[in-house]
Amino acid sequence: MMVLPQADSIGQLFSAEWHQTLCMRAEAAMAAVQARRGIIPAAAAAEIARTASIDFVPVARVAAERERLGHTFVAIIEPWSELLGDAAEWLHFGATSADVLDTVLVVQCGTQPRSSSRTCSRSRSACWSSPATIAQP
């Protein structure tokens, strides 16, 4: 199971750092499942998991790669692959970039940042107590 840190705000949740972290963790989770099923070597999955962090693939490097390549996800995969040695051939094995990016978006949309819980509660209360404030068609 992929355990995620708690975001402090909506801005943090959709930041470049979080996006990259979630992409890398999704790839590591996929590699772990593939290794358990015998699809990829367990050592490759372990190395992918070990390096699935912005500490290994800095956000600034990914931003420069994205600028150069024009592709959000390949900008993560290429510099990460450089670190993996023989495990690189198993990174992003059997998935499309859209698969991973869609997974990340679902995780982002399903995560409630700490700072939003009070705001969401107030917004819900305001909407339910004041139906006249809701736009009419």
pTM recorded for the entire structure: 0.76
Tokens of 69: 């390549």
Q: Is residue 4 domain-resident?
A: no
CA 84 to the chain's CA centroid: 19
Please count the structural domains in the chain: 1
pLDDT beyond 90 at 119: no
81 belongs to a structural domain: yes
CA distance 89 to 108: 28
Span 58-103, pLDDT tens digits: 999 999 999 999 998 999 999 999 999 999 999 999 988 898 888 8
Q: Is residue 61 part of a domain?
A: yes
Range of the domain at 103: 10-132
Among residues of the chain, what percentage have pLDDT more than 70?
A: 76
Q: Residue 137: inside a domain, yes or no?
A: no
The overall average pLDDT reported for the chain is 82
Q: Which residue has the higher pLDDT, 102 or 113?
A: 102
